[in-house]
Structure 1
Amino acid sequence: MGNVLFSIIWLIILIFIAFWVAGIAAGIYIIVLPFTVCIEALSGLADFLLSVVQFPKYCAQAMMEGRGFN
Structure 2
Amino acid sequence: MKNPIWFIFWLLILIFISFFVAFLGAFFYIFLYMLEACCGCWNGINNFLLKCIQFPHFCAEAMLQCRSPC
TM-score normalised over the length of structure 1: 0.95
Distance 1:2 1:53 in 2: 27
Residue type of the partner of 2:27?
A: G
Structure-1 residue corresponding to 2:42: 42
Match of 1:32 in 2: 32
4+ runs of 1 displaced by more than 2 Å? Answer: none
* Alignment root-mean-square deviation, CA: 0.9
Task: In structure 2, list runs of 5 or more residues that go unmatched.
Answer: none
- SS of corresponding position for 1:14: helix
Partner of 2:60: 60
CA distance in 2, matches of 1:5, 1:16: 17
Deviations 1:36-63 (A, max 9, x none): 0111100111111001100000000000
Greater share of helix: 2
Aligned residue in 2 for 1:22? 22
How many residue pairs get matched? Answer: 70
> Taking structure 2 as the reference length, what is the TM-score of the superposition?
0.95
Unpaired runs of at least 5, structure 1: none
Q: Between the two proteins, what is the percent identity of the paired residues?
A: 41
CA distance in 2, matches of 1:54, 1:2: 24
